Amino acid sequence: MMMIQILIAIAAGCASALMFASIISGALISLLLFYLAPLPLMVAALGWGAIGAAVGGLLGAAGLAAIFNFSYAIAFVVTVVAPAYWLGHLAMLARPSDTTDAAPPALEWYPVGRIVAWIAGFAALTTMAALLTLGTDSATISEGLRAGLQRTLGSRNPGDADRLIEALVAVAPPAAATVAMLTLTLNLWLAAKITATSGRLNRPWPDLRTATLPAMTLAVLSLALGLSFAGGLAALIGSIVSATLLIAYGLIGAATLHTLTMAARHRGFLLSSTYALVLIFLWPALGLIALGIGDAVFGFRQRYFQRRSMPPPTTT
């Protein structure tokens, strides 16, 4: 059994490392593989233990260091191995519940909402770490982004290109943080589904409709939004943290929508239409973000159950 766990950990680490390194090829499919690089390690962490996944990831990093260079291996550890290990560890973390006298006692699993907050933290950290490779102040980072975009877009129509580049330099950091947040969330969800399908997920599937972020998250978001107007490196950090936390509240907004439409007659059509609009036009996601923040402030889901004299499900 131990040998199987070791082999799975090594295989997961090698697969993640290869997927991470595939971006060098420049092929379009490599972009998808790059964003899914944490998936094998997350599956290993959920099904066979987070420690084994971490060891496999470090072995994959050693291979990248030998083939490419040490900085490439460090990037893999920071952006792939560390999130996969820690999120997998938290997802399987449990303690005996104090609200039951059952023998053996029921387990209380680490709340999904707190895992979402951790994902936001990792997304902000990895995005900021990537930008700091360009420089240690906002001017240097912006100049590095500008130079990279100029090489990518070329020199045709200089006037229009310059305006486009300036706009992209402004939105690139929060956009990168948003992508990191969404892809980490998707990877963890897919890993949990794969592990559950294989019968290796040793925890019940959580009721995602009840997920709530920690109470302090709203205060952190307010501070980050304030910093985003401060200028300099503080503004850059503020915009990145704001982007990840707004996406987190968008996810909570989706959970709230699923709750508030439980009794709706055409619930399936309503939900599918909402997600289709978000995917096609993007801006309707602002409605989900507003709904998530509104639920944090006004308790929409709690009031929904109170009006129907229904006991609210256990928060996750």
As a whole number of Å, the end-to-end CA separation of the chain is: 32
Largest CA distance in the chain: 73
Please give the helix or strand (H or E) that residue 109 lies within, else none: strand 107-109
Phi and psi dihedrals of 264, rounded to 5? -70, 145
Q: Distances in Å between the alpha carbon of 201 and those of 48, 53, 146, 194, 291? A: 9, 15, 45, 9, 31
Q: Which two tokens stand for residue 110?
A: 């680490």
Measured CA to CA, the distance from residue 154 to residue 144 in angstroms comes to 15
Handedness of CA 204, 208, 209, 211 (dihedral sign): positive
Span 273-283, pLDDT tens digits: 999 999 999 99
Question: Quick one: pLDDT band at residue 80, thresholds 50, 70, 90?
Answer: very high
Higher pLDDT, 83 or 161: 83
Predicted pLDDT of residue 228: 92
Q: Which residues pair with 96 in a beta bridge?
A: 107
Q: Which residues pair with 107 in a beta bridge?
A: 96
Handedness of CA 121, 122, 125, 128 (dihedral sign): negative
- Number of neighbours of residue 17 by Cβ within 10 angstroms: 27
**Do 98 and 198 touch, CB atoms closer than 8 A?**
no
Q: What is the mean pLDDT of the chain?
A: 90
Span 184-228, pLDDT tens digits: 999 999 999 999 999 999 999 999 999 999 999 999 999 999 999
Measured CA to CA, the distance from residue 190 to residue 198 in angstroms comes to 12
Average pLDDT for residues 106-113, to the nearest whole number?
91
Q: Distances in Å between the alpha carbon of 116 and those of 101, 168, 197, 275? A: 30, 27, 22, 19
Amino acid identity of residue 44, one-letter, is A
Handedness of CA 112, 51, 191, 201 (dihedral sign): negative
Predicted pLDDT of residue 23: 87
Distance of CA 102 to the CA centre of its chain: 35
Span 137-148, pLDDT tens digits: 888 998 988 888
Measured CA to CA, the distance from residue 125 to residue 252 in angstroms comes to 21
Span 21-34, pLDDT tens digits: 998 887 888 889 99
- Give the closest residue to 122 by CA, choosing from 90, 91, 87: 87
pLDDT above 60 for 134: yes
Question: Quick one: pLDDT band at residue 149, thresholds 50, 70, 90?
Answer: confident
**Do 95 and 192 touch, CB atoms closer than 8 A?**
no
Ramachandran assignment for 312, one of left (phi > 0), alpha (psi -120 to 50 degrees), beta (any other): beta
Average pLDDT for residues 256-274, to the nearest whole number?
92
